[in-house]
Amino acid sequence: MSRSGQVDIGWNGGGDDATPVVRRRLAAILVADVAGYSRLMGRDEAGTLATLKGHLKELIEPRVRRHDGRIVKTAGDGLLVEFASAVEATACAVGIQTEMAHRNADTPEDHRLEYRIGVHLGDVILDDGDVFGDGVNVAARLEALACPNGIYLSADVYRQVRGKLDIAFEDLGEQEIKNLPEPIRIYRVLPVAGRAAAPEASRAAPSPASGPLVAVLPFENLSAD
């Protein structure tokens, strides 16, 4: 094993039958994309692309560097970032959403670029600078569940960051995730006053333990009787 903690690649066997050993390491993976990106591009392709590039250059890239992350790749509105620390990955996500809320403050709601972010801590496979495996897949599923401005964490990330960052969480319970053999527990990062606005509704179902929510309102008789 190398000093970085990753499993070094070697060669299994010799001669023509030699096969490379897969390189793996534990990493915090952040996946993000823009909610409603296709709709925004359909409305104003050039303007949306220019705004997206501005956010990437002025906000996201500096934030990632500040938290010692590495942008593995971008694809359209999507973003895959690797961190050595779950705390740094989550802090970066919170910083991005906080600044995005400020940037969107004076923008009409139907013109805003709003990110959804998922963060997971897991084993990843390294291949020519790219990363693959369940660590990436789970982060991508969390991002797909998140609402605009939302940050969803896996339980593995939550255990690492609780008590270490000035943020609160909502336990969404165990959720069945597409193409994953077992349900995973999901936590939503709750916005703090002055930070990113709370999403109107969560895409992930609430924890079964929480039960239905009931609103009790005063009754006023407006009829003649």
Q: What is the overall mean pLDDT for the chain?
A: 81
Is 121:135 a contact under the CB 8 Å cutoff? yes
Lowest-pLDDT range of 10-14, 36-40, 122-126, 128-132: 10-14
Count of C-beta atoms within a 10 Å radius of residue 130: 13
Q: What is the pLDDT of residue 147?
A: 92
- Which comes out higher in pLDDT, residue 76 or 158? 158
Is 153:117 a contact under the CB 8 Å cutoff? no
Q: 3-17, 35-49, 151-165 — which one is most confidently predicted on average?
A: 151-165
The tokens of 153 are what?
Answer: 């964490």
Task: Judge whether residue 188 has pLDDT over 70.
Answer: yes
- Among 28, 33, 101, smallest CA distance to 70 is for 28
The tokens of 141 are what?
Answer: 């599923």
Determine whether 41 is exposed, middle or buried from the number of CB atoms within 10 Å of its CB (0-12, 13-18, 19+). middle
Is 35:114 a contact under the CB 8 Å cutoff? yes
| Cα–Cα distance measured from residue 126 to residue 174, given in angstroms and rounded to the nearest whole number | 29
Average the pLDDT over 116-141 and give the result.
91
- Among 35, 58, 59, smallest CA distance to 110 is for 35
Pairing of strands 115-127, 151-154: parallel
The tokens of 111 are what?
Answer: 């013109």
Look up the pTM and report it.
Answer: 0.76
Q: What is the pLDDT of residue 192?
A: 59
Average the pLDDT over 167-189 and give the result.
89
Q: What is the pLDDT of residue 16?
A: 54
Phi, psi for 130 (deg, rounded to 5): -95, 165
Average the pLDDT over 204-225 and give the result.
41
**pLDDT tens track for 74-120:** 988 999 999 999 999 999 999 999 999 999 998 888 888 999 999 99
Share of the chain above pLDDT 70, in %: 76
